[in-house]
Amino acid sequence: MNRRNLLKITALSSVFLLKGGNNLLSQTNKQSIIRPKRLEKGDKVALVSPASNVTDLMDVYRAQEICDKLGLNTIMPKSIVKTASGYKTRTVEERVDDLHQAFADKSIKAIFCIRGGFGSAELLDKLDYELIKRNPKIICGYSDITALLTGINKKTGLVTFHSPVMLSDFDEITFTSFQNMLYNSSAFGEIKNPISSDIRSANPTIVINDGKSKGELVGGNLSLITSLIGTAYQIDTEAKILFIEDVGEAPYRLERMLTQMRMAGMLNKLNGVVIGKCDDCSAGSSQSTWDRSELEVYNYIFAGMDYPVFYGLLFGHTSTQFTIPIGIEAEMNSEEGTLTILQSAVI
């Protein structure tokens, strides 16, 4: 099948409810953690757009191109196919239905988000979490997709994946990280920024608080995490390693969001924090003498905490993006700038 022929995109197949799904890893207070099955060459994956719509046929091609490289067969919901011609929005009901069909169809092994944008959070109180729990499978993305990843993980215990979307750049490191995380049923191991041959490191990691710690991974895009505070989908941070990232946020806005988390009690009982490299997070020409820089914000917020914190790991809105599983045990070393995945994220 030539998946590059945009006129032959297959719509989602009929809904088949998958019974069972007892892929249990460990116990938490509220949900048993469920690992999805790993991918294999030739598997069928659903390409969805639960946030902003995909309106350019070239974007459809680019998304399918990545799946071709992974050796996967792709299908898309009819609601995306019919609007990939300029229409900018789709209804909540259409987007929820796309996800429900993708989870319920037993022939689909994974759900890849084509892009982020805006709107995922408004799906959270419409999703059938029992359906998702009965049909555990890989779901991945980042940015606005954080709302889905954290909401589904909290409500079902399903391990989700903070990963590139299908329109990400996918350099060699990004592609290898994504592929190895989803195809191998062994612990991924160490995540560390590539070593630069330049005199100055292109992507340094910077210690905020030194030390090592272990904990279950939780996190994603900072703006989305804070937007869910006070809702049923607020993340649980106690004894966790929190990873956060953002893009295009002035330092004072980062400080405001982190202050909100602190006052909500979300930073007090953490085991550690890994902060992703933030592109375009400087104050620019508007910075006043009393404004803090980005790194000064992190020092101000975290310096008094008794857990390790470091900045600069490549995940999220960066050209190189590591894939990070939500709900899996990991170890961080802030002095080495490493995050080591201690358990397999798939079975």
Looking at the annotation, which residues are catalytic? 143, 245, 317
Number of residues assigned to the chain: 347
Determine the Cα–Cα distance for residues 118 and 133; give it in Å rounded to an integer. Answer: 25
SS3 231: coil
Cβ neighbour number for residue 108 with a 10 Å cutoff: 23
- Three-class SS string for 121-155? HHHHHHCCHHHHHHCCCEEEECHHHHHHHHHHHHH
Cα 320 to Cα 190, 245, 326, 342, distances in angstroms: 16, 13, 19, 22
Q: Strands 212-221 and 329-333: what pairing?
A: antiparallel
Angle at 332 between CA 326 and CA 335, to 5 degrees: 150
Determine the Cα–Cα distance for residues 285 and 266; give it in Å rounded to an integer. Answer: 32
Q: Strands 44-48 and 240-245: what pairing?
A: unpaired
Dihedral (CA of 295, 195, 327, 52) sign: positive
Cα 308 to Cα 172, 212, 242, distances in angstroms: 30, 6, 11
